[in-house]
């Protein structure tokens, strides 16, 4: 044989050397350790960078979903209507344009003065009079930045000065009227003395100089919404926005000229008597909750912390998806194993049942369950029932295929010859060989369930928008009509939903390749 190889020139003659029997040719040792099935799958999974990154993203999202409710447990169920639809704001991180709760807008001269007046009024807690410069330097000044005015012309050729600026939407709330019990009034006064901050401010007189008696921010004298000053003859002169601008207060005062901070609003005893007061809401929030308003992702359309609500939504989606995946795994594995192992008439009958169920529209089932079952067991359990009714069919089909593939293998026939029962053959010999495909199918079920659950809640078929729970689809539905003005309401839920869907799909694809028996031991 070797002479023929040399004759045909396949190997050069000089490459051959004769060796004596028993001669040691090399000191190199060759090791060939067997690699377990799951270890081999892990090695192949790590080679898919996209799947590894997706797994890391999933872990981070899961940590976020379960950690945020623990860290911000004080905001569970907290709804602040006055701070609804506000942008992200973190006091310790805020910079102009970053986490400042701000919004860029254009203001007319009257609109700009009204906003600036909030900061001026916040410093004028005793009615002494405050200049524009003091108001601009106030911690409670909503205007973060005021740009240069530009002249615009309307359709009627009337020139108007427009100012661009950035406003802190939390401080923009300014002052509000509220009826509080006398005991709370005393508690607020004690808090003011303890902290040196001011909540209670002079009431505004309801007279000809108050354009809107329900708006607590109209504390200065106005006429036809224009800020005015009153001369010695009682005539009003319009105030223009300019350096050194001084607003004339329209506070309610007693006979001695002192500002009035409350009026009796009803009630019989000292504890139940109601006082009408005018409060600076920013400090009132601090009084109620012990901190300044911090909302990492802003607030939703109802005033809930969006970061907290999104954590609840992600957690709900993940729990529903995982529960559906596990239940479908159990039902589908048992059903598919019986079909594939026994075959024949059993398989035909069970397949016809599967065909009937597969023709049932999922949306119709989910809608009927929500209409007739949700009132009894709740929205989430009825949603689970809808998913489980037909969701196991795909898993059953895959398991059935795998059993047809393996049930006639030699090791199965050997086990049957040795007297192994059907149950042992199914679960000890065939099922473990199908495990990779089953795990992969379960992982790929999760993004499908998350997408369908979000779609149902977005369309309003499933009602999950309560104080206790919500879903990403519900948050997107709430933002659908107002997201152009409040983009964070749409951006953050959509971003997390997209990350979940893409990451689980990439993760499932990585598992599919990792558990593929055809690739076992193959180096890429």
Residue 299's DSSP bridge partners are: 305
Say if strands 222-223 and 226-230 run parallel, antiparallel, or are unpaired: antiparallel
Length of the chain: 524
Q: Is the pLDDT of residue 417 over 90?
A: no
Listed in sequence order, the residues at least 6 apart from 466 whose beta carbon sits closer than 8 Å to its beta carbon are none
Q: Is the pLDDT of residue 187 over 60?
A: yes
Buried b / exposed e along 457-466 (16+ C-beta atoms within 10 A): bbeebbebbe
Between residues 4 and 219, the one the model is more confident about: 219
Handedness of CA 366, 370, 373, 374 (dihedral sign): positive
Listed in sequence order, the residues at least 6 apart from 263 whose beta carbon sits closer than 8 Å to its beta carbon are 203, 252, 275, 276
Q: Is the pLDDT of residue 175 over 90?
A: yes
pLDDT at 405: 81
Q: Is the pLDDT of residue 115 over 50?
A: yes
Buried b / exposed e along 192-226 (16+ C-beta atoms within 10 A): beeeebbbbbbbbbeeebbeeeeebbbbbbbeeeb
Between residues 159 and 453, the one the model is more confident about: 453
Q: How confident is the model at residue 524 (pLDDT cuts 50, 70, 90)?
A: very low
Q: How confident is the model at residue 491 (pLDDT cuts 50, 70, 90)?
A: very high
79/16 Cα distance (integer angstroms): 86
282 token code pair: 């920013």
193/205 Cα distance (integer angstroms): 26
Q: 105 phi and psi, to 5 degrees?
A: -145, 170
Residues 90 and 305: beta-carbon distance below 8 Å: no
81/126 Cα distance (integer angstroms): 28
CB atoms near residue 472 (< 10 Å): 26
Residues 258 and 48: beta-carbon distance below 8 Å: no
- The domain spans of the chain are 54-68+303-519, 89-289
Residues 366 and 386: beta-carbon distance below 8 Å: yes
5/133 Cα distance (integer angstroms): 100
DSSP characters for 301-370?
Answer: TTSBBHHHHHHHHHHHHHHHHHHHHHHHHHHHHHHHHHHHHH-HHHHHHHHHHHHHHHTS-HHHHHHHHH
Residue 134: exposure state from Cβ atoms within 10 A (0-12, 13-18, ≥19): middle
Q: Is the pLDDT of residue 464 over 90?
A: no
CB atoms near residue 96 (< 10 Å): 10
Give counts: helices (H), strands (E), the chain: 18, 10
Helix/strand/coil for 160 = strand
pLDDT at 60: 94
Q: Is the pLDDT of residue 412 over 90?
A: no
187/436 Cα distance (integer angstroms): 65
**Average predicted confidence (pLDDT) for the chain:** 84
- The position carrying tokens 């089953």 is 438
270 token code pair: 């000292």
Helix/strand/coil for 463 = coil
Residues 395 and 330: beta-carbon distance below 8 Å: no
119/159 Cα distance (integer angstroms): 28
Between residues 7 and 371, the one the model is more confident about: 371
- Which parts of 391-501 are beta strand (E)? none
Between residues 46 and 284, the one the model is more confident about: 284
Q: Mind listing the pLDDT tens digit for each residue in 220-266?
A: 999 888 888 887 777 888 888 888 888 989 999 988 889 999 998 88
Q: Mind listing the pLDDT tens digit for each residue in 347-401?
A: 899 989 988 888 888 888 888 888 888 888 888 888 888 888 888 888 888 888 8
Q: Is the pLDDT of residue 323 over 80?
A: yes
Element (H, E) at 103: strand 102-108
238/230 Cα distance (integer angstroms): 9
Element (H, E) at 78: none
118/132 Cα distance (integer angstroms): 11
Q: 263 phi and psi, to 5 degrees?
A: -135, 150
88/310 Cα distance (integer angstroms): 14
- Longest Cα–Cα distance of the chain, Å, equals 130
Query: For domain 54-68+303-519, which CATH number applies: 3.30.70.980, 3.40.50.11930, 1.10.3720.10, 3.40.250.10?
Result: 1.10.3720.10
């Amino acid at each position: 044989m070797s002479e023929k190889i040399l004759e045909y020139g396949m190997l050069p003659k000089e490459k051959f050397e004769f060796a004596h029997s028993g001669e040691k040719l090399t000191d190199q040792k060759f090791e060939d350790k067997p690699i377990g099935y799951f270890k081999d799958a892990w090695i192949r999974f790590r080679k898919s960078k996209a799947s590894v990154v997706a797994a890391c993203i999933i872990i981070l999202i899961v940590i976020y979903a379960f950690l945020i409710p623990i860290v911000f447990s004080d905001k569970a169920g907290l709804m602040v209507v006055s701070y609804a639809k506000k942008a992200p704001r973190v006091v310790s991180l805020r910079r102009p344009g970053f986490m400042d709760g701000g919004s860029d807008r254009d203001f007319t001269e009257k609109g700009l003065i009204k906003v600036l007046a909030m900061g001026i009024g916040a410093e004028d807690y005793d009615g002494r009079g405050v200049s524009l410069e003091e108001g601009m330097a106030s911690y409670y000044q909503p205007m973060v930045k005021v740009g240069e005015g530009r002249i615009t012309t309307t359709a009627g050729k009337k020139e108007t000065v427009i100012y661009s600026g950035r406003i802190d939407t939390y401080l923009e709330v300014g002052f509000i009227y509220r009826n509080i019990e006398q005991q709370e009034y005393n508690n607020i006064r004690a808090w003011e003395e303890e902290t040196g901050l001011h909540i209670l401010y002079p009431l505004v007189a309801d007279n000809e100089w108050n354009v809107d008696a329900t708006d607590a921010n109209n504390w200065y004298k106005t006429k036809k919404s224009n800020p005015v000053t009153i001369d010695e003859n009682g005539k009003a002169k319009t105030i223009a926005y300019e350096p050194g601008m001084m607003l004339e207060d329209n506070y309610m005062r007693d006979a001695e000229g002192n500002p009035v901070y409350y009026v009796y609003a009803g009630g019989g005893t000292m504890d139940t008597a109601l006082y009408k007061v005018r409060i600076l809401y920013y400090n009132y929030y601090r009084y109620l909750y012990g901190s300044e308003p911090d909302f990492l992702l802003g607030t939703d359309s109802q005033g809930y912390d969006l970061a907290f609500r999104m954590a609840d939504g992600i957690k709900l989606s993940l729990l529903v998806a995982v529960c559906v995946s596990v239940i479908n795994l159990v039902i589908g594995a048992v059903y598919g194993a019986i079909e594939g192992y026994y075959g024949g008439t059993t398989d035909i009958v069970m397949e016809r049942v599967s065909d009937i169920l597969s023709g049932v529209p999922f949306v119709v089932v989910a809608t009927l369950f929500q209409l007739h079952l949700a009132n009894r067991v709740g929205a989430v359990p009825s949603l689970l029932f809808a998913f489980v009714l037909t969701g196991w069919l795909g898993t059953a089909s895959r398991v059935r295929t795998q059993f047809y593939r393996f049930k006639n293998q030699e090791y199965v026939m050997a086990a049957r010859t040795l007297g192994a029962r059907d149950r042992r053959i199914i679960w000890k010999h065939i099922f473990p060989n199908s495990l990779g495909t089953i795990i992969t199918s379960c992982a790929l079920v999760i993004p499908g369930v998350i997408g369908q659950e979000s779609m149902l809640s977005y369309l309003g078929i499933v009602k999950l928008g309560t104080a206790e729970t919500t879903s990403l689809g519900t948050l997107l539905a709430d933002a659908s009509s107002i997201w152009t003005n409040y983009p964070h309401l749409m951006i953050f839920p959509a971003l997390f939903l997209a990350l979940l869907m893409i990451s689980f799909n990439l993760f499932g694809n990585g598992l599919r390749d990792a558990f593929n028996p055809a690739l076992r031991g193959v180096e890429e």
